[in-house]
Amino acid sequence: MTATPTVRAVETVVLDTNALMMPVELDVRLFDELERLTGRPPAALDLLVPRAVVTELDRLSAGSGAAARAARVGRDLADRCRAVETDEPYADDAVLALAAARDALVVTNDRPLRDRLCDDGVRVATVRGQDTLAET
């Protein structure tokens, strides 16, 4: 007998800094990929960004070059999400705390963060192939 997957009324998704920079750095259509992955349009998702991630994007976007440009795009995308205060000042710690508290899916391509999340039983989506998200 196979178990029926749990259907969640609202899918909560936490985005980290590099997830928001993926559209520029990896040519990932982030919101389209989230819709494909979850089966829900972005408007039906609870998209969360820890305030520490917004702060990190602001810091990175102040420079010049490709990373700064990606951070500026990421900062604009963060405005389409709900910024959430956490007690954690460091972005990776804030992502982990928020995801664990909300039973959320985290989008990241940061290997050390992904490993920490997986060790804590948090669901993670990363880039697979060239420009596709997949849950690990």
Please enumerate in sequence order all residues whose Cβ is within 8 A of that of 105, keeping only pairs 6 or more positions apart, or say none.
11, 12, 13, 14, 38, 99, 123, 124, 125, 135
Cβ atoms of residues 126 and 109 within 8 Å:
yes
Q: CA nearest 134: which of 112, 126, 63, 10?
A: 126
With pLDDT > 90 as the criterion, what percentage of the chain qualifies? 87
pTM here is: 0.90
Instruction: Give the mean pLDDT of 66-93.
Output: 96
Tokens standing for 77? Answer: 């995308």
pLDDT at position 130: 81
Q: Does the structure show a pLDDT above 60 at 68?
A: yes
User: What is the set of domains in the chain, with CATH numbers?
Assistant: 11-135 (3.40.50.1010)
pLDDT at position 10: 57
Q: Does the structure show a pLDDT above 60 at 60?
A: yes
Please enumerate in sequence order all residues whose Cβ is within 8 A of that of 127, keeping only pairs 6 or more positions apart, or say none.
22, 26, 28, 109, 133, 134
Q: Does the structure show a pLDDT above 90 at 1?
A: no
pLDDT at position 5: 46
Instruction: Give the mean pLDDT of 9-33.
Output: 92
Q: Does the structure show a pLDDT above 80 at 4?
A: no
> How far, in Å, CA of 113 to CA of 16, rounded?
9
With pLDDT > 70 as the criterion, what percentage of the chain qualifies? 93
Please, what sign has the CA dihedral across residues 29, 45, 115, 69?
A: positive
